[in-house]
Amino acid sequence: MSEPTLPEGVERRTFDGSDRLATRGEAVYGEPTDGEWRAWNPDRSKLGAMFELGMETGLRGDETVLYLGAASGTTVSHVADFAGPTYAVEFAARPARDLLDAAASRPRLFPLLADARKPATYAHVVEADVDAIVQDVATRGQARVALENRRFLADDGRLLLAVKARSEDVTRDPEDVFTDVETELDEGYEILERRRLEPYHADHLAVVARSR
Protein backbone atom coordinates (compact mmCIF):
# COMPACT_ATOMS: atom_id res chain seq x y z
CA MET A 1 0.00 0.00 0.00
CA SER A 2 1.17 3.53 -0.68
CA GLU A 3 1.90 5.85 2.19
CA PRO A 4 -0.94 8.38 2.58
CA THR A 5 -0.46 12.08 3.13
CA LEU A 6 -1.84 12.47 6.64
CA PRO A 7 -3.30 15.65 8.11
CA GLU A 8 -1.47 17.37 10.91
CA GLY A 9 -2.75 15.76 14.10
CA VAL A 10 -2.98 12.27 12.56
CA GLU A 11 0.05 10.05 13.11
CA ARG A 12 1.10 6.44 12.83
CA ARG A 13 1.85 5.09 16.30
CA THR A 14 2.41 1.68 17.84
CA PHE A 15 -0.36 0.00 19.82
CA ASP A 16 0.23 -3.50 21.16
CA GLY A 17 3.09 -3.97 18.71
CA SER A 18 1.06 -2.87 15.71
CA ASP A 19 1.60 0.29 13.66
CA ARG A 20 -1.73 2.12 13.40
CA LEU A 21 -3.27 5.48 12.63
CA ALA A 22 -3.98 7.58 15.72
CA THR A 23 -5.34 10.93 16.85
CA ARG A 24 -5.22 12.74 20.18
CA GLY A 25 -8.48 12.57 22.09
CA GLU A 26 -10.68 10.75 24.55
CA ALA A 27 -11.58 7.17 23.55
CA VAL A 28 -15.04 6.74 22.04
CA TYR A 29 -15.58 3.14 20.88
CA GLY A 30 -13.23 1.02 22.97
CA GLU A 31 -10.20 1.67 20.77
CA PRO A 32 -6.70 1.12 22.19
CA THR A 33 -5.04 4.15 23.74
CA ASP A 34 -1.49 5.18 24.59
CA GLY A 35 -1.48 8.24 26.77
CA GLU A 36 -3.42 10.95 24.95
CA TRP A 37 -3.31 9.04 21.64
CA ARG A 38 -6.02 6.64 20.50
CA ALA A 39 -5.94 4.17 17.64
CA TRP A 40 -8.09 4.80 14.58
CA ASN A 41 -9.68 1.54 13.41
CA PRO A 42 -10.09 1.49 9.60
CA ASP A 43 -12.42 -1.50 9.86
CA ARG A 44 -14.92 0.79 11.58
CA SER A 45 -14.17 3.97 9.66
CA LYS A 46 -14.45 4.63 5.90
CA LEU A 47 -12.24 7.72 6.19
CA GLY A 48 -9.69 5.75 8.20
CA ALA A 49 -9.70 3.14 5.43
CA MET A 50 -9.13 5.88 2.84
CA PHE A 51 -6.01 6.96 4.73
CA GLU A 52 -4.80 3.37 5.10
CA LEU A 53 -5.22 2.77 1.34
CA GLY A 54 -3.16 5.82 0.50
CA MET A 55 -5.89 8.02 -0.96
CA GLU A 56 -5.10 11.72 -1.24
CA THR A 57 -7.94 13.32 0.70
CA GLY A 58 -6.61 16.86 0.63
CA LEU A 59 -7.03 17.14 4.40
CA ARG A 60 -4.14 18.89 6.13
CA GLY A 61 -5.58 19.65 9.59
CA ASP A 62 -7.61 22.54 10.99
CA GLU A 63 -10.19 22.39 8.17
CA THR A 64 -13.83 23.21 8.71
CA VAL A 65 -15.71 19.96 8.09
CA LEU A 66 -19.32 19.01 7.45
CA TYR A 67 -19.73 15.33 8.33
CA LEU A 68 -22.88 13.65 6.97
CA GLY A 69 -23.92 10.40 8.62
CA ALA A 70 -22.04 10.81 11.88
CA ALA A 71 -23.82 7.88 13.61
CA SER A 72 -22.46 7.38 17.14
CA GLY A 73 -19.29 9.35 16.49
CA THR A 74 -16.72 6.68 15.64
CA THR A 75 -15.12 8.52 12.72
CA VAL A 76 -16.27 12.07 13.27
CA SER A 77 -14.67 12.08 16.73
CA HIS A 78 -11.30 11.37 15.08
CA VAL A 79 -11.97 14.15 12.57
CA ALA A 80 -12.76 16.60 15.37
CA ASP A 81 -9.49 15.60 17.07
CA PHE A 82 -7.45 17.13 14.23
CA ALA A 83 -9.83 19.40 12.28
CA GLY A 84 -11.33 22.78 13.03
CA PRO A 85 -15.09 23.27 13.52
CA THR A 86 -16.74 19.95 12.68
CA TYR A 87 -20.49 19.81 12.07
CA ALA A 88 -21.80 16.28 12.58
CA VAL A 89 -25.19 15.51 11.02
CA GLU A 90 -27.05 12.40 12.23
CA PHE A 91 -30.72 11.59 11.75
CA ALA A 92 -31.28 8.63 14.09
CA ALA A 93 -31.92 9.56 17.71
CA ARG A 94 -30.21 6.54 19.34
CA PRO A 95 -26.74 6.96 17.81
CA ALA A 96 -27.10 10.72 18.18
CA ARG A 97 -27.10 10.25 21.96
CA ASP A 98 -23.73 8.52 21.72
CA LEU A 99 -22.56 11.29 19.41
CA LEU A 100 -23.40 13.82 22.11
CA ASP A 101 -21.21 11.88 24.54
CA ALA A 102 -18.33 11.91 22.05
CA ALA A 103 -18.75 15.67 21.62
CA ALA A 104 -18.67 16.39 25.36
CA SER A 105 -14.86 16.43 25.44
CA ARG A 106 -14.49 17.98 21.96
CA PRO A 107 -15.38 21.68 21.84
CA ARG A 108 -14.93 21.78 18.06
CA LEU A 109 -17.51 19.02 17.43
CA PHE A 110 -21.08 20.22 16.88
CA PRO A 111 -23.71 17.44 16.72
CA LEU A 112 -26.82 18.16 14.64
CA LEU A 113 -29.88 15.91 14.83
CA ALA A 114 -30.97 16.36 11.23
CA ASP A 115 -31.54 14.58 7.92
CA ALA A 116 -28.61 14.91 5.48
CA ARG A 117 -31.13 14.70 2.63
CA LYS A 118 -32.61 18.00 3.81
CA PRO A 119 -29.72 20.46 4.17
CA ALA A 120 -32.09 23.42 4.46
CA THR A 121 -32.91 22.22 7.99
CA TYR A 122 -29.35 22.90 9.19
CA ALA A 123 -28.24 25.63 6.79
CA HIS A 124 -28.77 28.21 9.55
CA VAL A 125 -26.14 26.45 11.70
CA VAL A 126 -23.46 25.24 9.29
CA GLU A 127 -21.16 28.00 8.12
CA ALA A 128 -20.70 28.56 4.42
CA ASP A 129 -17.54 27.51 2.58
CA VAL A 130 -16.56 24.43 4.58
CA ASP A 131 -13.23 22.94 3.53
CA ALA A 132 -14.46 19.37 3.36
CA ILE A 133 -17.66 17.36 3.27
CA VAL A 134 -17.20 13.84 4.60
CA GLN A 135 -20.21 11.67 3.72
CA ASP A 136 -21.03 8.19 5.02
CA VAL A 137 -24.80 7.97 4.67
CA ALA A 138 -26.28 4.50 4.21
CA THR A 139 -29.34 5.41 2.16
CA ARG A 140 -30.58 5.39 -1.40
CA GLY A 141 -29.65 8.47 -3.33
CA GLN A 142 -26.17 8.93 -1.92
CA ALA A 143 -25.08 11.03 -4.91
CA ARG A 144 -28.11 13.27 -4.48
CA VAL A 145 -27.21 13.86 -0.82
CA ALA A 146 -23.73 14.96 -1.90
CA LEU A 147 -25.15 17.26 -4.57
CA GLU A 148 -27.70 18.83 -2.23
CA ASN A 149 -24.98 19.59 0.34
CA ARG A 150 -22.57 21.04 -2.22
CA ARG A 151 -23.97 24.47 -1.30
CA PHE A 152 -21.80 24.40 1.84
CA LEU A 153 -18.52 23.51 0.13
CA ALA A 154 -15.83 26.09 -0.55
CA ASP A 155 -14.74 26.49 -4.17
CA ASP A 156 -11.47 24.68 -3.44
CA GLY A 157 -13.00 22.24 -0.95
CA ARG A 158 -13.20 18.47 -1.18
CA LEU A 159 -15.96 15.89 -1.03
CA LEU A 160 -14.85 12.65 0.66
CA LEU A 161 -17.65 10.23 -0.10
CA ALA A 162 -18.07 6.60 0.93
CA VAL A 163 -20.66 4.92 -1.31
CA LYS A 164 -22.34 1.81 0.08
CA ALA A 165 -23.58 -0.23 -2.89
CA ARG A 166 -26.01 -2.34 -0.87
CA SER A 167 -27.80 0.76 0.39
CA GLU A 168 -28.50 1.80 -3.20
CA ASP A 169 -29.59 -1.58 -4.56
CA VAL A 170 -28.83 -4.90 -2.91
CA THR A 171 -29.68 -6.84 -6.11
CA ARG A 172 -27.22 -5.16 -8.50
CA ASP A 173 -23.52 -5.63 -9.06
CA PRO A 174 -21.69 -3.06 -6.88
CA GLU A 175 -19.59 -1.75 -9.78
CA ASP A 176 -22.75 -0.97 -11.75
CA VAL A 177 -24.09 0.91 -8.73
CA PHE A 178 -20.84 2.83 -8.38
CA THR A 179 -20.92 3.81 -12.05
CA ASP A 180 -24.43 5.22 -11.68
CA VAL A 181 -23.46 7.16 -8.55
CA GLU A 182 -20.40 8.64 -10.27
CA THR A 183 -22.46 9.62 -13.31
CA GLU A 184 -24.92 11.47 -11.11
CA LEU A 185 -22.12 13.14 -9.14
CA ASP A 186 -20.86 14.56 -12.42
CA GLU A 187 -23.73 17.06 -12.27
CA GLY A 188 -21.80 19.06 -9.69
CA TYR A 189 -18.46 17.42 -8.91
CA GLU A 190 -15.24 16.52 -10.63
CA ILE A 191 -13.97 13.17 -9.36
CA LEU A 192 -10.28 13.26 -8.51
CA GLU A 193 -9.84 9.72 -7.19
CA ARG A 194 -11.94 6.60 -6.69
CA ARG A 195 -11.04 3.39 -4.89
CA ARG A 196 -12.80 0.32 -3.54
CA LEU A 197 -12.44 0.06 0.24
CA GLU A 198 -11.65 -3.64 0.44
CA PRO A 199 -10.31 -5.27 2.55
CA TYR A 200 -11.69 -2.91 5.19
CA HIS A 201 -15.25 -2.49 3.89
CA ALA A 202 -16.94 -4.80 1.39
CA ASP A 203 -18.94 -3.32 -1.51
CA HIS A 204 -17.93 0.26 -0.70
CA LEU A 205 -16.38 2.85 -3.00
CA ALA A 206 -14.45 5.87 -1.76
CA VAL A 207 -14.58 9.00 -3.91
CA VAL A 208 -12.53 12.18 -3.59
CA ALA A 209 -14.07 15.02 -5.61
CA ARG A 210 -14.17 18.79 -5.91
CA SER A 211 -16.98 21.11 -6.83
CA ARG A 212 -17.33 22.07 -10.49
pLDDT digits (tens, 9 = 90+) for 15-35: 999 999 999 999 999 999 999
- Known binding residues for S-adenosyl-L-methionine: 74-75, 90-91, 115-116, 136-139
- Known binding residues: 74-75, 90-91, 115-116, 136-139
Neighbour tally for 94: CB within 10 Å = 10
Structural contact between residues 140 and 117, judged by C-beta atoms closer than 8 angstroms: no
Provide the CB-side half-sphere exposure for 68 (13 A, CA): 32
Which CA distances in Å does 178 have to 25, 72, 168, 187? 34, 26, 9, 15
Give the closest residue to 59 by CA, choosing from 120, 134, 128: 134
Give the closest residue to 84 by CA, choosing from 112, 69, 65, 60: 65
Does 3.60.21.10 match the CATH number of domain 42-211? no
Q: What is the pLDDT of residues 122-147, one digit of tens each?
A: 999 998 899 999 999 999 999 999 99
State the SS3 of 53-91: CCCCCCCCCCCCEEEECCCCCHHHHHHHHHCCCEEEEEC
Q: Helix crossing, 93-103 with 74-82: angle to 10°?
A: 30
Q: Report which residue type is found at 43.
A: D
Nearest-5° angle of CA 41, CA 42, CA 47? 120
Nearest-5° angle of CA 90, CA 183, CA 52? 55
Could you tell me which residues come within 8 angstroms of residue 186 by beta carbon, excluding any fewer than 6 positions away?
Answer: none
What percentage of the chain has pLDDT greater than the value 70? 98
Report pTM: 0.96
* Domain regions of the chain by residue span: 42-211
Q: What is the pLDDT of residues 64-112, one digit of tens each?
A: 999 999 999 999 999 999 999 999 999 999 999 999 999 999 999 999 9
